[in-house]
Structure 1
Amino acid sequence: MSNVSVIGLGIMGLPMAVNLVKAGHTVTGFNRSPARIERLIAAGGLGATSVADAARGADVILTMLPDSPDVEGVVSGPDGVFAHAAPGTLWIDASTIRPDVAQRLANDATAAGLRALDAPVSGGERGAIDGVLSIMVGGDAADFDAAGEVLGAVGKTIVHVGPAGSGQTVKAANQLIVAVNIQALAEAIVFLEAHGVDLDAALTVLGGGLAGSKVLEQKGRKMLTRSFDPGFRLALHHKDLGIVTAASREAGVVTPLGAVVAGLVANAVNHGDGALDHSGLFKGVLELSGRD
């Protein structure tokens, strides 16, 4: 088993770190909020005092951070991962960031003697807790093979999708599909409510047909009960759809539904709902429909 350091113990990072402990790895965690480190220690992990402390002595460093500047800030500079990790260390970035940034940081990692994979994940908090995340991995095939035990401890569907940056490109597509599905589900439930249909029965039968999806399974109940405690925050999906928009423009492709949903997500965030689960898009449909 490996010495694994996890930097970023948030909604996703902490359960991933705990699952690495359960798999038998020696896991050291670092987070800006010390309380999250204490939770990892309580689960059998270790705590680091800084990014540099976490990087030293690690065989594998996994970062799970909110955005491109956060990742760059942690890995670069005199106090960053690249300056303190030993040559040959495998760096796995599970964050969702811009593909071009992932490519550039992979080149920087290589120049520092490290091996880099961009490995964003899908499945939300529940998937992280259960260790069944879908992981799309960009980077060298040999490095992907070397990461097998670590990625296997946190994910179920783990696929090498191409060179550096490819994982982030596939994740952007994932976030586009998820956002459109959430919006469609929200509209469907408001439609059903307006007609007085038995909602539990309706979602059961819809889930068994072509309309069935992980989004329906995981987000339908949140909408029915108006409980939007975050498994994945709207503010982060807003950031991800910004990545989709920029990457689409760069590639010269059009994503009409993506543009509409990106606007609706931006509206929700601008109205103070950024901390809600992304199923909170339902609130916007209610408001546009004059319902509550």
Structure 2
Amino acid sequence: MTKVFVIGLGRMGRGIVKNLVKKGYSVLGYDVSPRSYELLADITGFRPAALPEAREADYVLLTLPTARELLGVLDEITGSKGVIINMTTVGLDDAKAAASKAASMNLRYLTAMMEGGPANAETGTLTLYVGGPVEVYNSSLAFLRDVGNPIYVGSHEAATTIKLLSTAILLANTAILAEASQALLRLGLEPDLLVKALSSGGADSAQLRSRLPMMLSGLYKDVFSVDLGVYVLEEAIKAARALGSDYTPLLSQVVELLRAARGLGLGSHDVAEVAEVYKYLTSRRS
């Protein structure tokens, strides 16, 4: 039986664990928070384990909070026999540093940036932007297809940059939806009707269908935090500039909007709650 070790059992890591257990993998995992283990206690086929056990796994998935944990955990899995797959969202400089460190340790290492949320992780429907040695990718392809939909883009840097810019587009879309939501609310129509109308035309998007209903109802689900949005946008702008694309006025405006949301105490809340910034500013003008 193929053995998988997941390091980092937050919402995404737990979703991946549940998906892989259903598909017949032997899954072990580690997290610094005991609460993470409690949330997986009823999952038959999963076992909490100490980090050294990761060295014996066929695949080690890294789903960590930040680059600091990513770079630190590589030291803990020296001598791993399996393929190390980093799925942690990091900036371009940190992605390069992690790949370089893995190479110096002779690890078989891939970057697989995730697109999608915890529900996609649990159903195995994540989009994965994968970079790294093509021979490692090819040998891991069947496994990656059990995790999600892998798209090989060549280098670690390309996988990271595509992820950053994809999320930047998502956040810009969320920002315009938040801005439009205040006018939409004043039409006095049912939220379901508004979403149906807009999703039937050129404005349709995944964010419109998932986050506009939250904005119109005021009932939010925490999926992607404002704090993480600020980090990703800052790193996306840095990546764009590293590629020679220095003019990023729209992304700069969106990051300022998210910083304003953070200033209102919404840092840990979902990015959909930037609508509350517009609501606050509108109320001050009334």
Shift of 1:207: 0.6
Shift of 1:180: 0.4
Look up the match of 1:284: 277
Look up the match of 1:48: 49
Identity %: 31
Rounded to whole Å, the distance in 1 between the matches of 2:139 and 2:269 is 37
Rounded to whole Å, the distance in 2 between the matches of 1:165 and 1:3 is 28
**134, 140, 144: which one pairs with 1:141?**
134
Rounded to whole Å, the distance in 2 between the matches of 1:9 and 1:159 is 24
Change (3 A) 1:228 1:199: closer
Look up the match of 2:58: 59
- For structure 2, the 5+ residue unaligned runs are none
Look up the match of 2:24: 24
Rounded to whole Å, the distance in 2 between the matches of 1:282 and 1:126 is 23
Rounded to whole Å, the distance in 1 between the matches of 2:181 and 2:107 is 48
Shift of 1:108: 1.9
Look up the match of 1:14: 14
Q: CA offsets per residue over residues 90-114 of structure 1, 9 Å max, x none?
A: 1101111012322222222122221
Deviates more, 1:241-250 or 1:3-12: 241-250
Is 1:104 equivalent to 2:97 in the alignment?
A: yes
Rounded to whole Å, the distance in 1 between the matches of 2:42 and 2:109 is 30
Deviates more, 1:104-113 or 1:137-146: 104-113
Divergent runs of 4+, >4 A: none
Number of residue pairs the alignment of both structures matches = 283
Rounded to whole Å, the distance in 2 between the matches of 1:192 and 1:108 is 50
**138, 152, 167: which one pairs with 1:160?**
152
Secondary structure at the counterpart of residue 106 of structure 2: coil
Instruction: Read off the aligned partner of 1:275 and give its amino acid letter.
Output: S
Rounded to whole Å, the distance in 2 between the matches of 1:239 and 1:214 is 21
Instruction: Read off the aligned partner of 1:232 and give its amino acid letter.
Output: F
- For structure 1, the 5+ residue unaligned runs are none
Deviates more, 1:203-212 or 1:99-108: 99-108
TM-score, with length taken from structure 1: 0.91
RMSD, aligned α-carbons: 1.8
Shift of 1:279: 0.8
Is 1:127 equivalent to 2:120 in the alignment?
A: yes
Shift of 1:84: 4.5
Change (3 A) 1:71 1:47: same
Is 1:275 equivalent to 2:268 in the alignment?
A: yes
**Mapping of residues 254-273 of structure 1, within 5 Å:** 254-273=247-266
**110, 114, 124: which one pairs with 2:107?**
114
Shift of 1:202: 1.6
Rounded to whole Å, the distance in 2 between the matches of 1:153 and 1:66 is 23
Secondary structure at the counterpart of residue 56 of structure 2: coil
Look up the match of 2:69: 70
Preserved contact between residue 126 and residue 231 of structure 1 (Cα < 8 Å):
no
Shift of 1:6: 0.3
Preserved contact between residue 7 and residue 62 of structure 2 (Cα < 8 Å):
yes
Rounded to whole Å, the distance in 1 between the matches of 2:92 and 2:112 is 11
